[in-house]
Structure formats: C-alpha cells, structure tokens
Amino acid sequence: SICIGCKACEVACKEWNRNPIDGNLEILGSSYDNTGELGANTWRHVAFVEQGQERIEEARESGRRLVSLGMPGIGPKSSGPRGATPAGDLSDVDRTPPDTPEFRWLMSSDVCKHCTNAGCLDVCPTGAIFRSEYGSVVVQQDVCNGCGTCVSACPFGVIERRDDGTISPFAHREEKDERMGTASKCTLCYDRLVDGEEPACSATCPTQSITFGDHDDLTADARSRVADLHERGMTEARLYGANPKDGVGGTGSVFLLLDEPEVYGLPPDPQVPTKSLPRTYARAGIAAAGMVAAVALSFLGSRR
C-alpha cells in the first residue's frame, strides 16, 4: 500500500550482490518491467499489476469476507484492541467503501520468503543451505553442487540455478562468476547483517515500504496498518505470510497485499513438499512389511 514501484530496491540488490542484469533492459510486453520474475540473477523483483474498477471492487469484497477469519476489524471503534471487531460479528461493520478509482497500479516488491519450514533447506544434500542466526535461509555457493533439488522444493519458485556465469563489475572488463551452475537466491544480505547493517533493499527504499527489524514487532505494525486501511474503507488489505500455521510455518518476509495472493503471483496456500515425507515413508514401510510377509507366507506354504 506504500510501494511506488521505483525499483530502487531491485537495483540496490543487484548492485550489492553483483548480480547480472536480466532482460537486457528491454521492457516486457506483459508489464512495465524488464526482469519479469524472481530468479538466480534477480533476488528482488518489483512487478506492476494494473487493475480496473471492477477488479478493485471484487478485491474489497473478498477482503470483507476475511474479517470473520481473524483479520483486523473495520468500522466503529470498539472497547477492545484498536479497530478490533469480535470474530464473526459483522453487524456493526461499515461496508461503505471510499470512492473507487477507475484503475490503479499494484506494485509488488517480491523476494525470498525465508520460510520457517524451508523446503529448500530440508532437501539440500550437501548442507549448502543453512539457517542463519538471524532466521534467514542462506545458500553457500562454495558448497552447492548444483544438483537443483532445492529448486523443485520451493513452493514459491524463488530459488534457481544460475546459468550465466559472467559479471561486469568494471567497464570493459569481464570476470568469471564462481556462482555459475549453483543455486542462488536472496540471502537477506547476510554479509551486511553480520556487519550490523540492514539489507540493501530496505536501506534504499525511499518510502519505507520495505522495513527490516524484529519479526514480531514488524508483524504487529503490519496488522495495525491493515486495521487502519480497513477503517478507511480499503477492506482489500490483508497480510500474507504472517500465519505460523500455514503450510510453511509462516515466513520471515511478510507482505501487506491489496488483493488476493494469486493477483501477485503468490500461491494462496503454500505447502512444503517435504511435509508429506513422513506419511510417504510410513506407507512405504507398510508396503515393504506386507511384501516381506507375503514372501514369508509363500515360502512357508511351499515347504508344506
């Protein structure tokens, strides 16, 4: 609700991490954008989503339905927490929206979610992916063997193997990038955090749309912001990634959206692929035990 789409965060990310450009600065036909999506070379991506009046009204209606599911209330002040409405009680909710514009732009600054239950970390066979002391999920390029197992394990499609191994840190000079062929994604600027600095994207953001700090404090601020927007009639506002009971256990990167996740290219119910492994192993064990029992019975029967 604050992002202006300036792409300063995207540029700062590429500059600090010395990531190659994407798209040769050519604007895509589907958006005012040249990078297109997150990938090995683009760890922070700002997308432009254009919406008409009808879609805006649909977003506001879907947001109203989320109130009874635990979203901050809208309408008159109550004696409870700021802007709170008893769960499921919508009788006093002001449903009158503000003037709906003919169209609007949704600016989506996307990045790695740094999941609590990270699928990429679970499946990495070499230990190249680790969780840092800051809670971020980091890939060590010097340990990664480029197998790509983590790529298919990410429910958000964030992590990717780098196939372009050249960078140009200085004019008319090319160096071989040791990260070629290895998995790459946002590290939450781990090297900056170690030195006591905040990530390049949040340090650069001119509107403070991207903020860095204690996860619980920032999530509380985000919920308050959602409540403010609801009170102003912008019932389409909602949080994404703030639910610790979702399929990835909540995310380190929390997003305030103005429409359903699918509009931003985000899965509505992300699931860690490894979540079903215990059940799969149990079924495989039962099947193996059944086969052993069948062979044993067959052997005993033949002896008789």
> 147: annotated binding-site residue?
yes
> 301: annotated binding-site residue?
no
> 178: annotated binding-site residue?
no
Under 8 Å CB-to-CB from 252, ≥6 apart: which residues?
113, 114, 115, 116, 135, 136, 137, 188, 215
**CATH number of the domain encompassing residue 191:** 3.30.70.20
Q: Judge whether 188 lies within some domain.
A: yes
Contact by Cβ (8 Å): 162, 179: yes
* Mean pLDDT in order along the chain per 10 residues (304 residues): 93 93 66 80 90 83 64 39 41 54 85 95 95 96 91 93 56 55 93 96 95 95 92 88 91 93 90 71 74 78 64
Q: Judge whether 283 lies within some domain.
A: no
Q: Which two tokens stand for residue 229?
A: 């927007």
Q: Judge whether 286 lies within some domain.
A: no
Q: Judge whether 214 lies within some domain.
A: yes
> 154: annotated binding-site residue?
yes
- What is residue 184's predicted lDDT score, i.e. its pLDDT? 93
Q: Which domain holds residue 142?
A: 8-271
Number of helices (H), then strands (E), in the chain: 8, 10
- What is residue 28's predicted lDDT score, i.e. its pLDDT? 67
Q: Judge whether 282 lies within some domain.
A: no
> 161: annotated binding-site residue?
no
Q: Judge whether 276 lies within some domain.
A: no
Total length of the chain: 304
- What is residue 273's predicted lDDT score, i.e. its pLDDT? 82
Residue found by looking up tokens 């029967």 in the block: 301
Helices (H), the chain: 8-17, 53-65, 119-123, 149-153, 190-194, 200-204, 215-231, 277-303
- What is residue 79's predicted lDDT score, i.e. its pLDDT? 41
Q: Judge whether 298 lies within some domain.
A: no
- What is residue 168's predicted lDDT score, i.e. its pLDDT? 42
> 5: annotated binding-site residue?
no
Q: Judge whether 160 lies within some domain.
A: yes
Helices (H), 85-238: 119-123, 149-153, 190-194, 200-204, 215-231
- What is residue 189's predicted lDDT score, i.e. its pLDDT? 97
The number of domains in the chain is 1
Contact by Cβ (8 Å): 285, 277: no
> 120: annotated binding-site residue?
yes
> 13: annotated binding-site residue?
yes
